[in-house]
Amino acid sequence: MTSPLQHRIDVATSLLASSVTLGRGVLVVTPARQPEKLFRLYEFEACPYCRNVREVLTALHLDTEIYPCPKGGTRFRPEVERLGGKTQFPYFIDPNRDTRMYESADIIAYLFRTYADRDVPFNYRRIGSSSPMSSLASGIRGMRGMRANASKAPRELLHLWSFEGSPFSRIVRERMCELEIPYVLHNLGKERFGELGMNGMRLERGAYVPTPGGKREAFMKAHGRVQVPYLEDPNTGTKMFESAKIVEYLDQTYAE
């Protein structure tokens, strides 16, 4: 079990990791068209190239299935080699268009072009500082989400509401990656500039009101608040907020 002190350290370093990626993966750039079938993304949390793709999924407000492939993992890494011919990450599948691809830059261009009808914005292009900053973010977190730990496989995919730049969500995603737990990632990025800032310190003053018709409004109607991470596990019927409690639950339920 993670101690309260360790959790505070995790939150602090996770916040710093979000800061060095220049705000990518926090704000929705273009609400894209969510396709009928979910994407499949094979990746691992500490990989800077995988992070680039996850940032864009938040920027486009797109949900996807995540299949964690940490080093030493045996659950999904062999599947990537079988499907694509090599063990390289990220590996992306769009079943709506029968598209499969490696290379983060190609995936990013595909997502913007296909589902947002636009070119890749400057802040999300693969400019020289992009992957080094993502690598620095992984280093700050001590390469959490890099290597597999022994675990039990769930029967059904879990569901996680998150956004890439959320420091609390990162802690949960790292642990799910290490335990090779597949899940549906529901991106809940901030939908307007005034939402930027931590809870109680947003640029917009007063009571928080989500954008009408957006994913955050739908989440608030369902749960009474907008807070990430939020986990649902259909295998046990568990539904919960709070990163420390979620990590504890994952360890108790799936770690060996």
Any domain includes 161: yes
Consecutive H or E run containing 238 = strand 238-241
The string of DSSP letters for 94-123 reads ETTTTEEE--HHHHHHHHHHHHSSSPPPGG
Cα–Cα distance, 42 to 68 (Å, whole number):
6
CATH number for the domain including 138? 3.40.30.10
Peptide bond into 90 cis (omega under 30): yes
In this structure, are residues 148 and 74 in contact, taking their beta carbons and an 8 Å threshold?
yes
Any domain includes 217: yes
Q: Which amino acid is at 7?
A: H
Q: Which amino acid is at 231?
A: L
Any domain includes 198: no
Cα–Cα distance, 173 to 231 (Å, whole number):
11
Residue 213 CB partners (closer than 8 Å, separation 6+): none
Any domain includes 37: yes
Any domain includes 84: yes
Kind of pairing, strands 158-162 and 183-187? parallel
In this structure, are residues 255 and 186 in contact, taking their beta carbons and an 8 Å threshold?
no
**What's the pTM value of the predicted model, to 2 decimals?**
0.90
Any domain includes 199: no
Tell me the Ramachandran region of residue 243: left when phi exceeds 0, alpha when psi lies from -120 to 50, beta otherwise. alpha
Query: 3-class SS at 64?
Result: strand
Cα–Cα distance, 190 to 77 (Å, whole number):
32
Q: In 3D, which of 188, 181, 150 has the Cα closest to residue 166?
A: 188
Cα–Cα distance, 145 to 210 (Å, whole number):
31
- The per-residue pLDDT for 208 is 84
> How far does Cα 229 stand from its chain's mean position?
10
Q: Could you list the residue range(s) of the whole structural domain that residue 154 is in?
A: 4-193+210-254
Question: Per the structure, how many domains does the chain have?
Answer: 1
Residue given tokens 């940032």 in the structure block: 55
Cα–Cα distance, 221 to 142 (Å, whole number):
37
- The per-residue pLDDT for 231 is 98
- The per-residue pLDDT for 2 is 62
- The per-residue pLDDT for 71 is 95
Any domain includes 201: no
Any domain includes 23: yes
- The per-residue pLDDT for 127 is 47
| Residuewise pLDDT in 10s, the chain (256 residues) | 566 666 566 556 555 555 556 667 889 999 999 999 999 999 999 998 999 999 999 999 999 999 999 999 999 999 999 999 999 999 999 999 999 999 999 999 999 999 999 999 887 876 444 566 666 655 566 567 789 999 999 999 999 999 999 989 999 999 999 999 999 999 999 998 777 766 666 667 778 888 999 999 999 999 999 999 999 999 999 999 999 999 999 999 999 9
Q: Which residues pair with 101 in a beta bridge?
A: 92
Cα–Cα distance, 241 to 245 (Å, whole number):
7
Token digits for 212? 């009408």
